[in-house]
Amino acid sequence: MKPDWEDYKPSIDELISLRQASKECGLSPNHLRLLVGKGIIWGVKIDTLWVTTKQAVKEYLIQDRKTGPKPKKDLTL
């Protein structure tokens, strides 16, 4: 379930770069960027820097997530 980030307005003091967030949570900056793009975690681009908050990443990490390879699609016709 995707959280509703529409009303989320963090203060400037709460913002951290995706690189910093990746060091704290163990996910790569590229993966975090993908999650931001899908609206799974909150984030914005300021000039050339993508930022999020520790709270947004924490909320993602506490969710139940399926890990591992995705099931293959049945390609039979």
Please spell the DSSP secondary structure of 31-45, one letter per residue.
HHHHHHHTTSS--EE
Give the global pTM.
0.76
pLDDT digits (tens, 9 = 90+) for 3-31: 667 778 888 999 999 999 999 999 999 99
For residue 63, the number of C-alpha atoms closer than 13 Å in the C-beta half-sphere is 14
Which residue(s) pair with 51 in the sheet?
Answer: 17, 44
Cα(63)–Cα(46) distance, integer angstroms: 27
How is the beta sheet containing 49-53 ordered, strand by strand?
A: 15-17, 49-53, 44-46
Mean residue pLDDT of the chain comes to 86
